[in-house]
Amino acid sequence: MTQRLKVSLGGVRVGELGQDQAGRIVFQYDSKWLLEGFDLSPGSLSFEGLPQSAMRGVFDGLHGVFNDSLPDGWGLLLMDRALKQKMGLNRPDITPLHRLAYIGERGMGALEYAPILLRGEGASLVDLSQLAEQAEGILKGTSDQVLEELRILGGSPGGARPKVTVAFSKDMKTCQTPFSVLPEGFTHWMVKFRAGSNSTGGDEIDSGRMEMIYAEMARASGIEMPRTHLLELNLKGQREAYFAVERFDRVSSRKIHVLSLAGLAYANHREPCLDYGSGVLAATKKLTKSQQEVERAYRLMVFNVLAHNKDDHAKNFAYLYDLKEGCWRLSPGFDLTFNFGMSNQHTTSVNGSGLPVMADLKKLAQDFRVERWKIIVEEVAHGVSSWPERAKDMDLSQSRMISVQSALNATIKRVFD
């Protein structure tokens, strides 16, 4: 092996990642973990002691479950700049093992990697306005240097939009770094900044308010959601609202193992490659072995359809492993907002259709024995119908309210007619 990384979970050694002379990345479970632990990615990793390479080359030769620890888009931008500035590594020279070592103990989910490249600082208070302003400068190309605080806090979350992981006090008024033992009453959160106005779906100045509305609509539709909060911050003398969501992969200082559908299925989330039937619902049934979890996945599908959230790619579905119960469950909803997707069609098809109708919803309900499917559709439709009142309460512009309502009306007409 030319490179090695120790993989741990909850302070317990899980196994080892290495790169052989041929450049292939190989993982081997630790013998003790095989006796006392659990399969990190059932079906895509073999729960045995033999060295194993990745199933496919989707993630630069990295196993899907470990790729889940890495960011994309924004986080990779910060990582590449930091590795160049601090270690002289150019992007072509950066391997997936470099990236995992850079993430170290800061990744989403519970997996940790050692030795660590570029450790961060200890606990400190966080100025979110300053970080938002610098993030904007980096995206606009007006800032080349990355603040150390932004590198640490913004380098691990996935997705294209700038975001940071922080800890908030109970009253949401005090914000600090989240990588040490938290003070009493503090919890782990993620704050999303803005990617500008040219993103797919229109990441406008009201994107934080939009995602807050969608979180409320999802709850009203019966979808389990983490706690959410709208932060009013000063940015260059102007007030702007940013969406904050409590992390479901953290419970106090305990880390929860998370496996995305992309990581499980080796699915490229940047292109349409899955169907809700053979992908989301089938994986949920196989992994959780619970009809209740299948119904939760079905409800999420219906919400994405009726609420016009067409950016429903493979990384936006995830599963949590419950150590106490020894079982998997579907994660709470996340990244739910109005979106046109690709060519105004769903990234994950519904019964083979990118523009599904009621017959498609019915067919998948029959295939996966979702007996209450009509009730679920009605409940979600009722939750989505609250858009006008919620948008008005959130002070969205009239043009924004009308354009979204028009798209929602067209979707309801297509599905229910």
Domain definitions of the chain by residue range: 3-114, 128-250, 257-416
**Which residues have CB under 8 Å from 171's CB, separation 6+?**
none
Q: What is the dihedral of CA 2, 8, 14, 20, to 10 degrees?
A: -10
> Under 8 Å CB-to-CB from 155, ≥6 apart: which residues?
71, 75, 78, 79, 82, 102, 103, 106
* Predicted local distance difference test score (pLDDT) of residue 297: 98
For the residues 253-265, what does the mean pLDDT come to? 96
Q: What is the pLDDT of residue 21?
A: 80
For residue 115, cis peptide bond before it (omega within 30 degrees of 0): yes
List pLDDT tens digits, range 161-207.
Answer: 899 999 999 999 999 999 888 999 999 999 999 875 444 433 578 99
Q: Provide the whole-model pTM.
A: 0.94
For residues 131 and 285, the model is more confident at: 285
Tell me how far apart the terminal alpha carbons of the chain are, to the nearest angstrom.
60
Q: pLDDT for 123-152, tens place per residue? A: 689 999 999 888 888 877 766 666 788 888
Give the closest residue to 121 by CA, choosing from 80, 78, 150: 150
CB 111 within 8 A of CB 7: yes
Best mean pLDDT range from 34-38, 83-87, 338-342:
34-38
pLDDT number for residue 152: 84
Distances (CA, A) of 293 to 281, 300, 323, 381: 9, 11, 17, 20
Mean pLDDT of the chain: 92
Write the CA distances from 290 to 37, 45, 181, integer angstroms: 21, 21, 35
Q: What is the pLDDT of residue 72?
A: 85
What is the fold, at CATH topology level, of the domain defined by 257-416?
1.10.1070
Hey, is 267 helix, strand or coil? Answer: coil
As a whole number, mean pLDDT of residues 294-301 equals 98
From 20-29, 41-50, 154-163, 301-310, the region with the lowest mean pLDDT? 154-163
Average pLDDT over residues 13-33: 93
Q: What is the DSSP track for 199-260? A: STT---TTHHHHHHHHHHHHHHTT-----EEEEEEEETTEEEEEEEEE-TTEETTEE--EEE
* pLDDT number for residue 236: 78
What pLDDT is recorded for position 123? Answer: 62
Among residues 217, 388, 391, 411, which one has the least CA distance to residue 310?
411
| pLDDT tens, residue by residue, 317-367 | 999 999 989 999 999 999 999 999 989 999 999 999 999 999 999 999 999
Q: Percentage of residues in the chain with pLDDT exceeding 90?
A: 75
Mean pLDDT of 292-317: 97
Judged against a pLDDT cut of 50, whether residue 272 lies above it is answered with yes
Single-letter residue type at 212: M
109 has a pLDDT exceeding 70: yes
Residues listed for the chain: 417
